[in-house]
Structure 1
């Protein structure tokens, strides 16, 4: 039975949070009601002596999460993408959550590589160094190909990491269900959906073939982007537990002094980071979901290099258009249009007052636009926006959360290079270009062509669908209760719809 094991894991978690002083921080961040606070204290306080101590030099929440192990560290990273759940301030803290763990032995990594790839490591790599980075799920080694001498990065999953994550994720599901049962108000934040989102990300990261596929697709999408590089995967040297890719040589974006000393234009880099992210999100609908300083470098020629594609964001074309209109509404300070977009997209319930919502959005945007460039903050905007949307009953949009959070992280990275960057001025040309290409006459023509192609492909199915609809309606009219034929709105609708589809299909062929 998993129930007792889950309860025990939750008790150990609560005890660690109590022992490290993180319990109050977490409950305050979630604005937890009294019954949730009481349950958390009951789970943690009597068993404080069972909790892990953690590193006393770290802040309480970071200390607790790192003490509890890899699954909690990864969950903390995912929560950093959910400011609607933990608050913007705490999400910012979790973004920089320490993700370095003691590495496992290099010899173990070599054994795993040989087992997965079917050859001794010395046959594949002329050099294989000690790990250069060790994170919650995997560690990375710098190596050199035996055949060509090219430098590569070899990422290796931690041994037995899948089983360890499975146990903790099961407890997370149990805990999320308890939170929703104890506090119905938290259902708007969808705790169980958060855990499902986390599980999906982790399952993807536990199969490095999927990360290789993401890197390959991202490289293909961005091949024409100026001053941007994506290390290519080496498929023949990769497997579920192993990922070999080009080595990314450059200066980490976390080392601003070194970037400045190398003569790179910090302001240009800051603007380029923001514009590239928006371009990938709006143009491609496929973006890097973990663009912090540790996953970005500056090449000697000034190009930006992105790597580590375990967390990628994906949004459909309709949502991209809505997001672009929302961004443009704020940029143009057109709050009536901004409110209309929220209502038309179904983001805000129809029974709310559009004029009142527009005024609330004005209260969000105006204080930010009234500030100077160094004070214009996407983090502040999202913080205010979450308050407004909660007041108007807007449900959490899970498909936008990673996009919104990544933009906050990207803003932080850009501001570390240029504190005076005006994010709206940098974003405007990208958003305007997207809107002109996807919401104007050219977009309408393109959409019409897509509809016609779809109808044309479906034409062979139309006769059968129409005959089936007529037959079903006749059968319905011939039941004992309805022997007398009579006019049916349903039948008329089916017939009219079928005729309309056939007419459009014929038009597409002419």
Structure 2
């Protein structure tokens, strides 16, 4: 239930950060001014006693996020892939949140499987192990099918996870409401819409039938992608709270030393993981939106194996074309074209100056191209882009927050393999191929063909539809200007900020 009672949840958030020592770590990482540190810690210090203690064997920030709940854990998972933002030590600590959380008992997992599937575990499986991985929403057990002897992974939702996540989301709605009320400048970012989008993503992740369907569709799209593999879904052993799929054997993507020792080319892996993601997003419009280290393995033959399909992203064809042109413009350093695309797509209000916007984009892009790959700071880039979006009055587009957040996560994984990788060099061939296939004479013919088919199907109804539209146009008052989204690369700032009550709490106090 949403309401003021969630203020207690926010108080407990700050108190938990202070009690676990995470507040000091966050302040140090943010390089906050002394007066800010004193003000914040003075504010939360009296409430320490209501804070959660957490697991005292964990580092402070990991301890606090784990104690606060699944939504906070999700945020920590994202940060764990960005050592360039939070530092190498903190990123390593946060990786514990990916798949090494305390599991619930195997007896409880077996009971859930039997309840959901209507079977007896001992009759279907020869083996059913203790949890091999435990994350914020579910945990995974390795099992062996009695009839065939095949190894499978059985994913089971945590008991009561639906209620726990809803409590966190309700608190986030309160945070968004406070921001929307007391920070007028931030209303263009539509914080309530952002939280609503986040809620939709989470709700879909809590139904494993949807995850199974996503995995099946993803497999069909990517079956011909070289160096990429997905485990097969076992539909007969899957339901709402249980999902069974083939066991994926490989080295966890976070274990870089082991991957190198196995003889795999880290530089090639770095480029491949980024290029695969861009191909899935641009070519298919359907991509894995939770590609952190804990959801990737490297097989013995070098294939990148992806699993955990609870969060998938979707982009329509028009948005993919616009996004590709923006990326391609940055790659070619053609800032005038990037600016024009934003105006053509309605991403920038029409009353703004296109040349001024192009100069602002140049100020963002040129410093990046002037650096060595290892010097490029995504945090600095996002900061510059956020300033540009504020200046030109662009608004958020919530359906693309997931794309931008995943782009940051995937780049973080790629840099784990090769810290000197250049995101623009790796992206160039993928974007160029998409531009060639999707923006040109052949694409125009395909679009016209699709349009003709639609018109042919609705042909007999077109006169009546046109007449009805003209009548409505004459009767209704002019519609207000439609909301316009803002530049692609800044959406991740909004998504990350709204997804983390920790970050928002600090922002509010500042």
Give the TM-score range, shorter chain: 0.7 to 0.9
CA deviation string 1:477-505 (max 9, x = no partner): xxxxxxxxxxxxx9xxxxxxxxxxxxxxx
Report whether the alignment pairs 1:316 with 2:316. Answer: yes
Match of residue 170 from structure 2: 170
Shift of 1:401: 2.4
**Is the contact made by 1:13 and 1:68 (CA closer than 8 Å) also made in structure 2?**
yes
**Is the contact made by 2:4 and 2:174 (CA closer than 8 Å) also made in structure 1?**
no
* C-alpha distance in 2 between matches for 1:138 and 1:198: 18
More displaced stretch, 440-449 vs 169-178: 169-178
Identify the match of residue 89 of structure 1 among 85, 90, 99.
85
* C-alpha distance in 1 between matches for 2:4 and 2:354: 49
- In structure 2, relative to structure 1, the CA distance for the partners of 1:455 and 1:355 (3 Å cut) is same
Match of residue 207 from structure 2: 207
More displaced stretch, 155-164 vs 17-26: 17-26
* C-alpha distance in 1 between matches for 2:291 and 2:460: 47
* C-alpha distance in 2 between matches for 1:351 and 1:468: 32
Which structure 2 residue ranges, 5 or more long, are not aligned? 479-510
Shift of 1:466: 5.6
More displaced stretch, 146-155 vs 9-18: 9-18
* C-alpha distance in 1 between matches for 2:125 and 2:140: 14
Match of residue 110 from structure 2: 110
Three-state SS of the structure 2 residue aligned to 1:300 is coil
Which structure 1 residue ranges, 5 or more long, are not aligned? 477-489, 491-510
* C-alpha distance in 2 between matches for 1:355 and 1:463: 42
* C-alpha distance in 1 between matches for 2:391 and 2:86: 21
Match of residue 374 from structure 1: 374
Three-state SS of the structure 2 residue aligned to 1:9 is helix
- In structure 2, relative to structure 1, the CA distance for the partners of 1:3 and 1:267 (3 Å cut) is closer
Correspondences of 1:99-498 after superposition (within 5 Å): 99=98, 100-376=100-376, 380-465=380-465
**Is the contact made by 2:188 and 2:396 (CA closer than 8 Å) also made in structure 1?**
yes
Pick 1 or 2: higher relative contact order, CA cutoff 8 A, min separation 6.
2
* C-alpha distance in 1 between matches for 2:390 and 2:8: 34
Shift of 1:31: 12
- In structure 2, relative to structure 1, the CA distance for the partners of 1:372 and 1:39 (3 Å cut) is closer
**Is the contact made by 2:2 and 2:174 (CA closer than 8 Å) also made in structure 1?**
no
CA deviation string 1:390-415 (max 9, x = no partner): 22222223233222222222222222
**Is the contact made by 2:14 and 2:44 (CA closer than 8 Å) also made in structure 1?**
yes
* C-alpha distance in 1 between matches for 2:158 and 2:70: 10
Shift of 1:25: 7.4
**Is the contact made by 2:141 and 2:154 (CA closer than 8 Å) also made in structure 1?**
yes
- In structure 2, relative to structure 1, the CA distance for the partners of 1:37 and 1:351 (3 Å cut) is farther
Shift of 1:21: 5.0
* C-alpha distance in 1 between matches for 2:29 and 2:418: 29
CA deviation string 1:324-369 (max 9, x = no partner): 1111111101011011111222222222222121111111111111
CA deviation string 1:442-495 (max 9, x = no partner): 00000000110110010121344366679x69x99xxxxxxxxxxxxx9xxxxx
Shift of 1:61: 4.3
**Is the contact made by 1:10 and 1:43 (CA closer than 8 Å) also made in structure 2?**
no
Shift of 1:182: 2.3
- In structure 2, relative to structure 1, the CA distance for the partners of 1:340 and 1:166 (3 Å cut) is same
* C-alpha distance in 2 between matches for 1:430 and 1:330: 14
Shift of 1:96: 4.3
**Is the contact made by 2:22 and 2:61 (CA closer than 8 Å) also made in structure 1?**
yes
Match of residue 69 from structure 1: 69
Match of residue 508 from structure 1: none
CA deviation string 1:301-334 (max 9, x = no partner): 1111111111111111111111111111111010
* C-alpha distance in 1 between matches for 2:196 and 2:31: 22
Match of residue 487 from structure 1: none
> What is the aligned residue count?
468
Shift of 1:212: 0.6
Three-state SS of the structure 1 residue aligned to 2:97 is coil
Match of residue 506 from structure 1: none
* C-alpha distance in 2 between matches for 1:58 and 1:394: 41
* C-alpha distance in 1 between matches for 2:331 and 2:412: 19
* C-alpha distance in 2 between matches for 1:322 and 1:67: 41
Shift of 1:57: 6.7
* C-alpha distance in 2 between matches for 1:196 and 1:43: 29
CA RMSD of aligned residues (A): 3.2
More displaced stretch, 349-358 vs 328-337: 349-358
